Amino acid sequence: STSERQKENSFKLVLLGSADVGKSSLVLRYIRDDFLETVSTTGCAFFSHRVYLQGKILDFEIWDTAGQERYHSVSHLYYRGASAALLVYDITSKESFSRAQLWFQELQKYVFGGEMVIALVGNKGDLQDKGKVSREDAQAFAEQKGLLCMETSAKTGDGVKEVFETVAHELLASE
Ligand code: GDP
């Protein structure tokens, strides 16, 4: 039936990364095609978004930490059952890149068995002149761990749709 089919094609996607790397902004850009200089981190942390790709329907359940990482560690319950994760860092912050790598280790501890599509996302690509993390370093890590690797700017919108669509494509391909 249609409802069973929709359920089958529903995927939990979580965003992980240091505070201020632009996780909420990426979701806002993707879902509303909008950008704010000041983002509320206390708002809704869960979004449903339908994607039409290659004649198929996919429903993303997008989970944003909504600032939890600022106050205490993110519970592993947050990413339990996730089919996909975006490990977001800010290209102007080496610290955030290290944190994204730690998130990958953390995910490996809890994601037993089942495959997970993971993308390493270097956000704030519009600040290339202040860039501290080279694309090569990110690609080397991603290649070694088998992750997708992309750069985005939630501010300009560059690469944002591509991240979600590439992940959607991988999820549909792995079914
Ligand atoms: P979060 O804590 O990871 O959810 O990060 P936010 O989405 O709250 O963004 C933190 C700050 O970075 C906000 O002031 C955003 O406007 C800004 N920001 C987010 N994405 C970008 C981007 O791609 N480029 C620039 N220049 N600023 C961004």
- Closest residue by CA, ligand 1 atom 25: 124
- Closest residue by CA, ligand 1 atom 11: 20
Q: Which atom of ligand 1 is nearest to the CA of 36?
A: 16
Q: Which atom of ligand 1 is nearest to the CA of 156?
A: 23
- Digits of tens for pLDDT over the chain (175 positions)? 444 444 578 999 999 999 899 999 999 999 988 887 776 655 447 889 999 988 899 999 999 876 666 656 677 777 888 999 999 999 999 999 999 999 999 888 877 656 899 999 999 999 999 999 999 999 999 999 999 999 999 999 999 999 999 999 999 988 7
Query: What span, in angstroms and rounded, lies between the C-alpha atoms of 50 and 56?
Result: 10
Cβ-contact 86, 119 below 8 angstroms: yes
Probe residue for ligand 1, chosen from 20, 24, 25 as the CB with the greatest number of ligand atoms within 8 Å? 25
Distance 5 CA to ligand 1 centre (A): 35
Supply the pLDDT for residue 44: 47
Residue that the structure tokens 């993303």 belong to: 60
Supply the pLDDT for residue 6: 47
Distance 112 CA to ligand 1 centre (A): 32
Kindly report the pTM of this predicted structure. Answer: 0.91
Distance 124 CA to ligand 1 centre (A): 7
Helices H, strands E: what count in the chain?
Answer: 6, 6
CB neighbours of 141 closer than 8 A, spacing ≥ 6?
101, 120, 147, 149
Cβ-contact 35, 29 below 8 angstroms: yes
- Closest residue by CA, ligand 1 atom 10: 20
Instruction: Tell me which residues have their CB closer than 6 angstroms to ligand 1.
Output: 17, 19-25, 36-39, 41, 123-124, 126-127, 153-155
How far apart, in Å, are the Cα atoms of 12 and each of 33, 53, 134, 135? 21, 17, 29, 27
Q: Helix or strand or coil: residue 121?
A: strand
